[in-house]
Amino acid sequence: MNQLKKKLKNKELSIGTWVNIGHQSVIEVLGMAGFDWVTLDIEHSPMSLETIQNLLGHIRATGMEGLVRVSKNEEVIIKRVMDAGADGIIVPMVNSEEDAKKAVNFVRYPPHGKRGVGLSRAQKYGYGFSEYKEWTNNNSCVIAQIEHIQGVNNLEAILTVNGIDGIIIGPYDLSASMGYPGEYERDEVKEALRSVVEMVKKSDKSLGFHVIESKFSKLKEKIDQGYTFLAFSLDFFFLGDRAREEMEKLNQELEK
């Protein structure tokens, strides 16, 4: 069992980050920062599947594990990123038990799922299919992204699905589904988040959150609240925030 799967199973803390800039240098820089895993986001970035496969190789070389946030809960895109060598997927807009079952089925082969067989990088280009088939049952990770109030309302059923390793909250879309895009500090949204925390803690699944801000204090808040599967900001926030902070300090000095 790989380290990420083990941590998810045991509800141990793991910290990763989000990548939207499709270049190996970004992966290598983040790998040196000490993250456990990286999610390549193809829902909201221009990255191609060819880029995804290339970056997954670089992620593995850094010692991290590589997830892909797929564009939607759909058979073809899920099997293609898994064939490219992803350690698992994050599936957006999981709003029901049926959505969760579909995601698991698209990752696993029969009789445990419905995934079609292809021979690519993950299967060592045909040389290691038997080994990989076993790997998918014991090591592949499926994370349900809860980012709509419907998903919150149906969460108890979602958490019963075998093969779902954990959930991760998408705060922007969750607040948007409640009529307050981006306003995830509103009382109504916070109450929805509290209900998610309570339900997941009673289950055998890991509790996750995507902390958008690139400040460790925001991450620490979530750790203190009991979240264990945490995505810490994203590549262009780390880059942009640090650049803006330092330029602001410089400008303040120059104005003295």
What positions carry a catalytic annotation? Answer: 44
Show Cβ contacts of residue 184 under 8 Å, excluding neighbours closer than 6 positions: 171, 172, 174, 175, 190, 193
Query: Residue 57 corresponds to which amino acid?
Result: G
Spatial distance between the Cα atoms of 181 and 144, rounded to a whole number of angstroms? 21
Strands, E assignment, 99-205: 141-146, 166-169
Spatial distance between the Cα atoms of 220 and 145, rounded to a whole number of angstroms? 21
Four-CA torsion 230, 150, 82, 105, nearest 10 degrees:
130
Q: Which residues pair with 15 in a beta bridge?
A: 230
